Structure 1
């Protein structure tokens, strides 16, 4: 099994690149974000590889960072998400953006990916929150502060009410969730609903 390729870029297409390793060209499928980080022909390149072996094909999927590869593997555990769809999701959302969308249960953000309808997007945000762990996802919203993330997770009622209020005012769910989480980080998890909304609006206005 191939776990990493280091060579030079031979060519880059819309969904894959050919990496030349000592004269052998490997076709590596990747997200548009990873492909965008590759240089022009002849540029040195090193990608982490997830190798998929089937009876009729061996497919290589490349990642510039370990975290992207880990999210790719986790997405494949969701029913209806194959490698192509997983890369499509990672093409429109960096790993930290995906973590925020899942923590906020923002299915609309996930549905921006090609091949992802509303039902699949809902399944992704619901099942991935359970798989990834709520505390870890919450920490992604509050600068990695696990203690604050734990407080955020136990404040589901007022947090969700404040997020819903901000969404009704026209803000996207992910950015609303992030703003409210930051207010709790600054003022504590016991802050009232009105304060969450008011200070959440201030966070969004910055």
Structure 2
């Protein structure tokens, strides 16, 4: 099994990315929630993967963290839900939201996923309920919120440093801020990477 893949995003499609790893382009199917603002062409990325093996095809599914992958695998244990269905569920709701939906018998929330009907959603609740614990669900949600808050604070600091560096180079504060905002900095970009990207907009 391929545990993860790390490389540069070469291409982004409606439901997948192509990751250039040492000259080989791997097509990896990812949740729509990951594509929304979290993945950008040309950036380096690490995806935790699951390889789906069928009689006539091999498909690689990728996730930004291990928890999403584990929940994806849990969904595959539900009769009637295949890889594309599981990916669809994680495209409309986070792993945390899914756990709480299952624990609160909220099949309607799961049924909003493309290709997942009411009966399949109810089956997911029934079959997953004994695999999720309320205490664990709260702990993981809190950990994820703290992680996001820490990443947001670090990103804000990196952007501030980049703006200050641009001002030191002779640009006005307004020009510097506009250039940094145009970059749309990702969470893995430090102040130096943001500065280099912003300078391309200014030249």
**What TM-score bracket applies, with the shorter chain setting the length?**
0.5 to 0.7
Other-structure match for 1:11: 11
Shift of 1:51: 1.1
Other-structure match for 1:116: 116
Other-structure match for 2:35: 35
Structure 1 unpaired stretches of 5+ = 145-206
In the alignment, is the contact (CA less than 8 A) between 2:78 and 2:124 conserved in 1? yes
Q: Compute the TM-score of the two structures, normalised by the length of structure 2.
A: 0.65
Structure 2 unpaired stretches of 5+ = 144-203
Other-structure match for 1:98: 98
Q: What is the alpha-carbon distance in structure 1 between the residues aligned to residue 96 and residue 12 of structure 2?
A: 25
Determine helix, strand or coil for the equivalent of 1:60. strand
Shift of 1:54: 2.5
Other-structure match for 2:24: 24
4+ residue runs over 6 A deviation: none
Shift of 1:2: 1.5
Shift of 1:109: 0.5
Kindly report which structure 2 residues correspond to 1:34-183, keeping only aligned pairs within 5 A, or say none: 34-133=34-133, 135-137=135-137, 139=138
Structure 2 vs 1, CA of residues 90 and 39 (structure 1 numbering), >3 Å: closer, same or farther? closer
Shift of 1:37: 4.9
Q: CA RMSD in A?
A: 2.0
Q: What is the alpha-carbon distance in structure 2 between the residues aligned to residue 141 and residue 46 of structure 1?
A: 21
